[in-house]
Amino acid sequence: MAKIKTKYICTKCGYETSKWLGKCPDCGGFSTFEEEVEAPSSGRNHISTERAVKPQGLSSIKPLEDERTSTGMPELDRVLGGGIVQGSLVLVGGDPGIGKSTLLLQICSKLGSSGKKVLYVSGEESPQQIKLRADRLGVTTDMLSILSETNFNIIEAVVAAEKPDLVIIDSVQTMYIEEIPSAPGSVTQVRETTSRIMHIGKKSNISVIIVGHVTKEGAIAGPRMLEHMVDTVLYFEGEKRASYRILRAVKNRFGSTNEIGVFEMREKGLAEIDNPSEFMLTGRAEDVPGSVVTCSMEGTRPLLIEVQSLVSYTSFGIPRRMATGMDYNRVVLLIAVLEKRANIQLASYDVYVNLTGGIRIAEPSLDAAVLLAIASAHTGRAVDKGLIAFGEVGLTGELRAVAMAQKRVSEAAKLGFTSCILPRANLKEVSQIKGIKAIGAGSVEELLHLAGVV
C-alpha cells in the first residue's frame, strides 16, 4: 500500500514544507501552517501510452461561443463582464454575514425565468431556512432546486443526475470529500473540493458559483490556492454597520477587473444602486474645513467620494498619522509634500484622513483631494461646496495628469458641482463640458491657492 504522505502548507501564501514551522519563511506569517494529507491518487495522472495526446494547432481550435447569461442584476453583470459565461467557475468571497447567500439567491429568480436550471447547494442552511429567505426576497421559480448537503460525493451524483445549467455551492468551506481525512474547511478539503467542482463544470459545461467565507486574516481560506483555479474572483465588501455593499472583481478571465457593483442591503434583500456617486455623498456636511470631494474611476465608472481630514495639535513627540480607506504610506508622502512644497508644517499635529462611507480606493488621482483636505483642516478654511478636485501629486510638488478626466468632470457636473480643479495637462480634454468651470493647476501650491485654503 502506498505510504500516506503529509506536508504542511501556509494558509496565507501557499508555501509548502515537509515539517511544521511556526513562522512562514515566505510571507512571514505566524502559526499559519496547516497539515495536509495528500489525497490518494485516483490514477488520473498516469496517461496510458496507447491514448496518445496531441496538441492542437491554434487555427484549428474552434472559438468558444461566449455565451453569457444575464443575472438580472445589471450591477452584478457589470462586475462579471456582462453576465455569467456558460461553464465558468466564479468564486464569491466576503466576510460572513455580508450578504453573499442573499445575493446568490436573488439572482436565481431571474436565471430561472430565463429558462436556466439552477441547483442551490447549501451546507449552512436547511431547505426550510432557504425557503423562508426566498419568500422574503420574492424568489419564485420552478427552475430552482435546493439541496442541503455537505458530502461532496453526494453533491457530485446529484449534479450528474439533475444536469443543471448553474450550480451554487454555499459555502466551499462546509463541503468535504470523504476520502480525505482532514476536516471540512481545511486547506486540503477546500482545494480538493474546488478542483473537483472545476472538473465537473468544465466537463459538462455547467456554470458554478462557489461562496468562500473570508477568514479573519482577510483571506479566503486557502486564498491563493482557490484564486488561481477559478475563472473569476469577486469580493463582496462593505461595513457591517453601513447598509451598502460593494462587489469587486479581483480576477476575471472574461472581463475587466476594475469594475465594481454597488448594492444596498434592505429589508427585502439587496437593491442595486444605479447612482453610487449620489449615494456616497448623502449626509455630507457642507462648508466645513477638512472636507473635499473628488472623483475616482472604478473601472469604467466615475465615483464621487468625500475625503475628510482632521488635523489636531499634539504634545507628544511623534505625531499620529491615520488613513482609512486609502494607502497609509501615500498619506505620509502627501504630508511630506505639503511640508516641503507648500510650507505647511505638520510635525506637531496628528493627521487623520478618511474616505467616507467606508469605501477603499487605491487610485493616485485621489492625491489632490487628500492634500487639499489636510491643508483645509489645518488652516480652518473650508473649500467651496460646489468644488471637486482630482490629480496625482508628484514628489516635486507637481500636479500630474490622470486618465479619463472627461468622465470625472462630467460626473461632477451631472451631480451639480460647479467647479473642478484638475491637472493643467488634462484641461484640454474637458473644455467641451457644460455647466462646470474647469480650472487647471500645475503644482501643489497653485492647487492650494485656487481652492482658497491657504
Binds ligand TYD by CB under 6 A, chosen from 5, 228, 253, 268: 268
How much of the chain is in helix, strand and coil states, percent to nearest 5? 30, 30, 40
| Smallest distance, ligand TYD to C-beta of residue 64, A | 31
**Minimum CB distance to ligand TYD smaller for 105 or for 326:** 105
* Segment contacting ligand TYD by CB under 6 A, of 132-140, 173-181, 184-192, 358-366: 132-140
- Which residue's C-alpha cell is 467651496? 384
Cell representation of residue 227:
484564486
| Smallest distance, Mg ion to C-beta of residue 93, A | 12
Residues 266, 154: Cα–Cα separation, whole Å? 35
Does 101 bind ligand TYD (CB under 6 A)? Our answer is yes
Closest chain position to Mg ion (CB) = 101
Residues making contact with Mg ion (CB under 5 A) = 101
**How is 356-396 classified by DSSP, letter by letter?**
GGG-----GGGHHHHHHHHHHHHHTPPPPTTEEE--EEPTT
**Minimum CB distance to Mg ion smaller for 139 or for 372:** 139
**Minimum CB distance to ligand TYD smaller for 96 or for 185:** 96
Tally Cβ neighbours within 10 Å of residue 157: 11
Q: Which does 333 bind (CB under 5 to 8 A by kind): ligand TYD, Mg ion, none?
A: none
Residues 383, 235: Cα–Cα separation, whole Å? 35
Does 136 bind ligand TYD (CB under 6 A)? Our answer is yes
Binds ligand TYD by CB under 6 A, chosen from 68, 100, 191, 245: 100
Binds ligand TYD by CB under 6 A, chosen from 9, 73, 98, 303: 98
Please list, residue by residue across 7-37, b when 16 or more beta carbons sit within 10 angstroms of its beta carbon and e when fewer do: bbbbbbbbbeeeeeeeebeeeebeebbbebe
Q: Which does 454 bind (CB under 5 to 8 A by kind): ligand TYD, Mg ion, none?
A: none
Cell representation of residue 302:
466615475
Does 96 bind ligand TYD (CB under 6 A)? Our answer is yes
Q: Which does 68 bind (CB under 5 to 8 A by kind): Mg ion, ligand TYD, none?
A: none
DSSP letter at 340 equals H
Does 185 bind ligand TYD (CB under 6 A)? Our answer is no
**Minimum CB distance to ligand TYD smaller for 23 or for 268:** 268
Residues 75, 64: Cα–Cα separation, whole Å? 25
- Which residue's C-alpha cell is 449620489? 278
Q: Which does 290 bind (CB under 5 to 8 A by kind): ligand TYD, Mg ion, none?
A: none
* Segment contacting ligand TYD by CB under 6 A, of 38-46, 74-82, 266-274, 331-339: 266-274
Binds ligand TYD by CB under 6 A, chosen from 133, 224, 321, 385: 133
| Smallest distance, Mg ion to C-beta of residue 326, A | 30
**Minimum CB distance to ligand TYD smaller for 107 or for 371:** 107
The answer to whether 17 and 11 have CB atoms below 8 angstroms apart is no
Residues 210, 232: Cα–Cα separation, whole Å? 10
| Smallest distance, Mg ion to C-beta of residue 55, A | 42
Tally Cβ neighbours within 10 Å of residue 358: 16
| Smallest distance, Mg ion to C-beta of residue 251, A | 22
**Minimum CB distance to Mg ion smaller for 101 or for 443:** 101
Cell representation of residue 427:
484641461
Give how many residues touch ligand TYD by CB under 6 A: 15
Does 215 bind ligand TYD (CB under 6 A)? Our answer is no
Does 148 bind ligand TYD (CB under 6 A)? Our answer is no
| Smallest distance, Mg ion to C-beta of residue 228, A | 24
Cell representation of residue 65:
461561443
SS3 306: strand
Does 265 bind ligand TYD (CB under 6 A)? Our answer is yes
| Smallest distance, ligand TYD to C-beta of residue 96, A | 5
Residue 118 sits at the vertex; the CA angle it makes with 219 and 185, to the nearest 5 degrees, is: 30
- Which residue's C-alpha cell is 435546493? 146
Q: Beginning with the edge strand found earlier in the chain, give each strand of the sheet holding 166-170 in spatial order.
A: 144-148, 118-122, 166-170, 207-213, 89-94, 232-237, 244-252, 260-266, 269-272
**Minimum CB distance to ligand TYD smaller for 191 or for 245:** 245
- Sequence-separated (6 or more) residues with CB below 8 Å from residue 254: 66, 80, 81, 82, 85, 88, 231, 232
Does 5 bind ligand TYD (CB under 6 A)? Our answer is no
| Smallest distance, Mg ion to C-beta of residue 239, A | 18
Task: Give me the residues that bind ligand TYD (CB under 6 A), please.
Answer: 94, 96-102, 133, 136-137, 265, 267-269
